[in-house]
Structure formats: C-alpha cells, structure tokens
Structure 1
Amino acid sequence: MPAALIWFIVAVGLAGAEALTGDMFLLMLGGGALAAAGSSAIFDGPLWVDGAVFLVVSLLLLALVRPSLRRRLTSATALETGIEALEGKKALVLDQVTQHHGQVKLEGEVWTARPLNDHDVYQPGDQVTVMHIDGATAVVWKDA
C-alpha cells in the first residue's frame, strides 16, 4: 500500500475522530496528515520526509489556525434573558418604595418594588438601580 494512501486514511480518521471531540486539535493533526499524503504522492520521498511534513504542518495549524478558529466558533458571552437581564437596569420610582410596598417603572413595565436596605425609602421620581428580582418584586437601590 503506498504511503500517500496510508497518510490519507490517517487524515480521514483524525477528521472523523474530531467530530466526536469538537476541540479542533485532531482536525489540525488531520490537516498535517493530509499535507503529508500530498507530499508523499507528489515527491515520493522517504518516510521521514513525510513525517517531517506532518509535524511541521500540524504544528503550524495548531499554532496559527486553531486559536482563531476556536474564537470564531465559540461565543464570547451568552445573552442574558428573563429576569437576569433586568439586574443592573435603571428604574423610575412611581409610588413611594418602602419595605412593604412601592412601584417602579422598569423597561416600560410597572413592577412592585422594595428597597435593598429595609430602612430606605424612595420617593416618586427617584432613579433607582435594580439589584435583583425577588419573585415578582424588583429589589432596588438608589445611588448616593
């Protein structure tokens, strides 16, 4: 069996194994094996030359291509949705906010609210920050 065919089979095997891992490591080695198969088919040199081509191309792919490919395929941050997206937003006090009652306008909707510190009281018109959502109640705090 010619060496080029063996290198090609190794390249296909590594690419197939990459489908199971998703780490892009085996795919880069598969690229090196494919380059070795090409050099073996074109130049028909000794086996150590094919090994050197495999090593050099694999290392170059791992160092230069893999980091940018992983950055492109991996999302940076997941989008916050639901109540997590409301934390840190500014709200307008509509009805006096005390420990037991109050309302704020948050993202165009009216929410029941209570202060983060139980003794604080916020008056209508005050700007507050949503610290977290507790059930259906916005827990708010006013910046000093």
Structure 2
Amino acid sequence: MADIDAWVWWLIAAAALGIPLVITAMPEFGMLSVGAVAGAVTAGLGGGIVLQVLVFAVVSCALIVVVRPIAARHRAGQPQLATGIDALKGKQAVVIERVDHRGGRIKLGGEIWSARTLDGDAVFEPEQQVDVVDIEGATAIVM
C-alpha cells in the first residue's frame, strides 16, 4: 500500500464519495467528491499531506456553502405542473344550463361538464362566467 501514490488514494476517495451520491441523490457527497479530486490534484503537483487535506477541506466546504443554497433555491423555485383535474381547479367556465345546488352544465376547457354550486343558495344562469373551485368525480363545483 505504500507503493501507491497519494493522488491515487484521493481518487479512490472521490469515487467512494460518488457512490453514496448516486445511491442517495444527496449532492453534498458530490461536493465532497470534488474536494477529493482537488486533493488528488494537489498531491499530483507535489503538495504535502497537510496541504492536500487543507485543499480538500476548503474546496468541499466552499462548494457546500456556495452551491448547496443555490441548488436548494433552484429546486424550491420550480413550479409543480398541474395535470388532470388539478389543472382545472381555478379555471373559468361558461354556464350552458342553469347551475344551482342540485346541478347544471358548464363548458370548461372546451368540454361540457356537470356542475353544482359551492353555495347552496347561489344560482348561475346560461352565459354567466363561473370559477371552478373543485372537482368531485365528474362534477365541477363552481362559484
């Protein structure tokens, strides 16, 4: 084991840190792996063990401190794509047949839907605009 250069050990450490990155999808392991590669480069250029460990620590910590918050902001800022009935909630529709608490018909997204009012006392006449607040089965709940 004494015959193996220090830079090879650093590359082995980088690969070993890459394995949990792939298994757990935790980006911190990738940042530590990049730090190990920096340690390997330092060893390859003839830096001593103290400098190698220092470069590993500084690069790894810098990546975690700088890149991790940026990645977290990016991940949190991505809007979720609404599909199916979730995409219909909040849309406007046009009343085709009178809609009250017992039922009626609306045109929503180019399709005819059964509908009923959210408020039991509300009544919507044909050609009125309504807002879809929920979908229950095949019935749109409107207000």
Kept after mapping to 1: 8 A contact 2:103/2:117? no
Deviation at 1:75, TM superposition (A): 7.6
Deviation at 1:13, TM superposition (A): 0.7
Task: Return closer, same or farther for 1:21/1:29 CA change in 2, 3 Å cut-off.
Answer: same
Counterpart amino acid of residue 79 in structure 2? T
1:4 aligns with 2:25: no
TM-score by length of 2: 0.89
Task: Return closer, same or farther for 1:13/1:74 CA change in 2, 3 Å cut-off.
Answer: farther
Deviations 1:14-48 (A, max 9, x none): 11221111111011001001111111111x23211
TM-score by length of 1: 0.88
Kept after mapping to 1: 8 A contact 2:8/2:40? yes
* Equivalent-residue separation in structure 2 for 1:74 and 1:50 (angstroms): 35
Q: Secondary structure at the match of 2:142?
A: strand
Q: Secondary structure at the match of 1:104?
A: strand
Aligned residue number for residue 103 of structure 2: 101
Counterpart amino acid of residue 81 in structure 1? T
Task: Return closer, same or farther for 1:23/1:99 CA change in 2, 3 Å cut-off.
Answer: same
What is the number of residues matched between the two proteins? 140
* Equivalent-residue separation in structure 1 for 2:88 and 2:64 (angstroms): 41
Gaps of 5+ in 1: none
| RMSD, aligned α-carbons | 1.8
* Equivalent-residue separation in structure 2 for 1:61 and 1:101 (angstroms): 59
Task: Return closer, same or farther for 1:17/1:47 CA change in 2, 3 Å cut-off.
Answer: same
Counterpart amino acid of residue 8 in structure 2? L
Counterpart amino acid of residue 113 in structure 1? A
Gaps of 5+ in 2: none
Q: Secondary structure at the match of 1:139?
A: strand
2:44 alignment partner, one of 37, 41, 44 = 41
1:117 alignment partner, one of 113, 116, 119 = 119
